[in-house]
Chains A and B, each alone.
Chain A
Amino acid sequence: MRVSKYIKKWFPVFALPTTLAFVLAFVVPFALGLFLSFTKFHTVTDASWVGFDNYVKAFTLNGNFLQALWFTVRFTVVSIVTVNVLAFALAMVLTKAVKGTNVFRAVFFLPNLIGGIVLGYVWQLLINGVLGRLFQQDITYDGAYGFWGLIILYNWQMIGYMMIIYIAGIQNIPGDVVEAAAIDGAGFWARLFKVTVPMLAPSITICAFLTMSNGFKMFDQNLALTNGAPLNQTAGLALDIYKTFYTQMNSEGVGQAKAVVFFVIVAVVAYLQLRFTRSKEVEG
């Protein structure tokens, strides 16, 4: 307690700079954003109260928001499964003392470090090259191209990251547990699903939620790869909010209302993750 007393009056030195930056970059924009979602405005100072009008408009004015929500949900569900199954498989193989395992890990992890905008254009070149060659089309021709293109891109980006978390988890499983199961006559699949997978429950939870929340918030890759084309069919929630703000006339209030809804969805996912991780810890 004496340390507490000793440094308490040093608030201006230790905590004020961060707090000030935090208030300006987060607290004020957040509170103002919440307020503005209930108003009609163009430049902030001209805001006039409209109640829940913007929220109603967000869902009813055109189908874009619901379409984007549906796109994001489909995208997230598919990629949670594919990213995690593939990352898990790679982690299993890479923890088996294969030659060159560190080089392989480095290669698979690399895409995760490259920014979404650059990744989007890298994949645009490849995907348009393939589509051009096969069908004389490009990625903007059909919504399905954009959807699966984004899935492939996202897998390419996330698999290495999730793989690293699974590898750490697998290395924490005591070897004798798996060995004992093998001696008792459990085959490969029985060992995998009755021993390894249950013991990796914490890693699986982390990875599933991480894939989900990153998928939900994806913006850069979406903007660079398809920018929603054709006709907003491939725009996720984050991109739709951006477009509402910056490309539609007189829609700032609606954009802000969509952003609040988006925030609530992301917060609920984060809350579920916390509950889920905690309950798993109690079981363990």
Chain B
Amino acid sequence: MERTGKVFRIVAFWGLLVVSVIYLVPLVLVLVNSFKSNLFITNTPFAWPNADNSVGIANYSDGLVRTGFLSALGYSAFITVASVIVIVVVTSMTAWYIARVKSRFTSLLYYLFVFSMIVPFQMVMFTMSKVANVTHLDNPVGIVFLYTGFGAGLSVFIFVGFIRSIPIELEEAAMIDGASPWKVFFSVIFPVLRPTAITIAVLNAMWIWNDYLLPNLVIGSSYKTIPIAVQQYLTGSYGQKDMGAFMAMLVLSIIPIIAFYLAGQRHIIKGVTAGAVKG
């Protein structure tokens, strides 16, 4: 028994190592090709960089300006950070109101939020972009408002579930001490919500950072986020395509994700798993 366990562990370790290496092949391939020149990427993608095919870091230094990657990085960062902050603050407030105020209206609101979680984006994509147009939300600030509205369902749902498990005596005590609801929420409830707030932040950050269709339809013609810039670079009609610059662009769009992952792996895995409730 002891012996098979040991053999199993050694075999498993080497097996997993091989699978992990295979798992990383696609990413390594892009990285390798990001140092090669245009022609060699299409013709010999599996060759290692050498004196003939390599261009050093030229794809990163000139390519990025031509692809508009840097401005895309700026828009992506702004929209993601702003939306996540707004979503965490306003949906937790709303969830508290829904969880604590018992009325027909709050339960109707709650069921509407839950309902919105199962609706695929294609159902509302055309009409949402028209509404955004008419209400002048078709800019990087307005889209924060749209993300808040479209993402509210999942966030409110998770927050309400958690708030219902908090004993109401905490709030009652603060209330009797004369604290305003504003103060009760931000000094008593919000600190307790911290772990859930991190989960919500992770879930929404992953979604918004990687989202392509919503920003493309609403602001894509004037402001390009990273997924839009990547998608439009090869399919857009203007200019010659530089595959080298494109590879550099792919690498640089993956690096922030890896950095984010290394910084908060535990929270990210917990958050993404909690998001499994979304059907």
Residues of A near B146 (CB, < 8 A) are 21, 24-25
User: How far does the alpha carbon of A18 sit from the alpha carbon of B112 in the complex, in Å?
Assistant: 12
Q: Nearest Cβ in chain B — how far from A189, in angstroms?
A: 15
Stretch of A53-61, A77-85, A99-107, A139-147 with 4 or more beta carbons under 8 angstroms from chain B: A99-107
Chain A residue nearest to B21 in the complex (CB): A107
Chain B residues numbered 116-162 whose CB sits less than 8 Å from any CB in chain A? 116, 118-128, 130-131, 135, 137, 145-150, 152-153, 156
Asked if residues B13 and A100 are in contact (CB atoms below 8 Å), the reply is yes
How many chain B residues have a CB neighbour from A under 8 Å? Answer: 96
Would A14 and B93 be within 8 Å (CB), given that A3-B168, A129-B29, A206-B276 are in contact? yes
A103 to B17 Cα, complex, angstroms: 10
User: Which chain B residue has the least Cβ–Cβ distance from A2?
Assistant: B172
Give the shortest distance, in Å, between A243 (CB) and chain B (any CB): 11
B1-26 with Cβ < 8 A to chain A: 8-9, 12-13, 15-17, 19-20, 23-26
With a 10 A CB-CB cut-off, give which of B15, B247, B272 has the most chain A CB atoms: B272
Whether a CB of chain A sits under 8 angstroms from the CB of B192 is no
For B103, B181, B260, the residue with the greatest tally of chain A CB atoms inside 10 Å of its CB is B181
Report the bound CA distance from A213 to B12 in whole Å: 32
Verify if B231 is at the interface (C-beta below 8 Å from A).
Answer: yes
- Contact in complex: A10, B97 (CB < 8 Å): yes
Which residues on A sit within 8 Å (CB–CB) of B13? Answer: 98-100
Residues from chain A with a CB closer than 8 A to the CB of B269 are 109, 164
A7, A122, A132, A255: the one within 8 Å of B250 (CB): A122
The reply to whether B96 and A118 form a contact with Cβ atoms under 8 Å apart is no
Q: Give per-residue flags for A16-30: 1 if the beta carbon is below 8 A from chain B beta carbons, else 0.
A: 011111111111111
A69 CB within 8 Å of chain B: no
Task: Note all chain A residues with C-beta closer than 8 A to B116.
Answer: 22, 26, 30
A33-B123, A107-B20, A256-B126 are contacts. A18–B12 as well, Cβ < 8 Å?
A: no
Q: Contact check, A15 vs B93: say whether CB atoms are below 8 A apart.
A: yes
For residue A31, give the distance in angstroms from its CB to the closest CB of chain B: 9
A151 interface residue (CB < 8 Å to B): no
Interface centre among B103, B124, B230, B250 (most CB of A within 10 A): B124
Q: Which residue of B9, B45, B145, B261 is within 8 Å of A125 (Cβ)?
A: B45
By a CB distance below 8 angstroms, the chain B residues around A164 are 269, 272-273
In the complex, chain A residues whose CB is within 8 Å of the CB of B125: 242, 245, 259
Q: With the chains together, A165 CA to B275 CA distance in Å?
A: 11
The interface centre, meaning the residue of A2, A22, A27, A241 with most chain B CB atoms within 10 A of its CB, is A22
A116 at interface by CB-CB < 8 Å? yes
Residues of chain A within 8 A (CB-CB) of B184 are 7
Closest B residue to A31 using CB positions: B127
Interface size bracket, A side? 35 or more
The stretch of A170-178, A190-198, A215-223 that contacts the partner chain: A215-223
Once the chains bind, are A126 and B123 in contact (CB under 8 Å)? Answer: no
Q: Is the CB of B231 within 8 A of A7?
A: no
- Is the C-beta of B64 less than 8 angstroms from some C-beta in chain A? no
Q: How far is the CA of A18 from the CA of B33 in the complex (A)?
A: 45
B45 touches A14 (CB 8 A): no
Interchain CA distance A100-B9 in the complex, whole Å: 11
Residue of A nearest to B123 (CB): A263
Query: In the complex, what residues of A have CB within 8 A of residue B219's CB?
Result: none
Which residues of A are found within 8 Å of B209, using beta-carbon distances? 115
List residues of chain A with CB within 8 A of the CB of B210.
114-118, 220
Measured between beta carbons, the chain A residues less than 8 angstroms from B246 are 121
| Complex CA distance for A11 and B32, rounded to whole angstroms | 55
Is the beta-carbon distance between A44 and B98 smaller than 8 angstroms? no
CB distance from A209 to the nearest CB of B (A): 7
CA distance A7 to B121 in the complex (A): 34
A108 interface residue (CB < 8 Å to B): yes
A18 touches B90 (CB 8 A): yes
Given contacts A22-B149, A26-B116, contact A252 B20 (CB under 8 A): no
List of A residues within 8 angstroms of B149 by Cβ: 18, 20-26
A178 vs B36: C-alpha distance in the bound complex, in angstroms?
53
A contact residues around B15 at 8 Å (CB): 93
B261 and A3 contact, CB distance less than 8 A: no
B236: CB under 8 A from chain A?
A: no
Stretch at the interface among B53-61, B193-201, B251-259: B251-259
Beta-carbon contact of B9 and A7 below 8 Å: no
Pair A3/B171 contact, Cβ less than 8 Å: yes
A-B pairs, top 8 by smallest CB distance, nearest first, are A25-B149, A115-B210, A21-B149, A270-B279, A129-B45, A29-B124, A29-B127, A18-B94
Interchain Cβ contacts under 8 Å between A and B, 20 examples: A14-B97, A15-B93, A18-B91, A18-B148, A21-B152, A25-B148, A26-B119, A29-B124, A29-B130, A93-B12, A114-B257, A117-B231, A118-B254, A125-B26, A129-B46, A156-B23, A217-B121, A223-B212, A259-B122, A260-B123
Interface residues of B (CB under 8 A from A): 8-9, 12-13, 15-17, 19-20, 23-27, 29-30, 33, 41, 45-46, 90-91, 93-94, 96-98, 100-103, 106, 109, 112-113, 116, 118-128, 130-131, 135, 137, 145-150, 152-153, 156, 168, 171-172, 175, 181-182, 184-185, 206, 209-213, 226-227, 230-231, 234-235, 246-247, 250, 253-254, 257-258, 260-261, 265, 268-269, 272-273, 276, 279
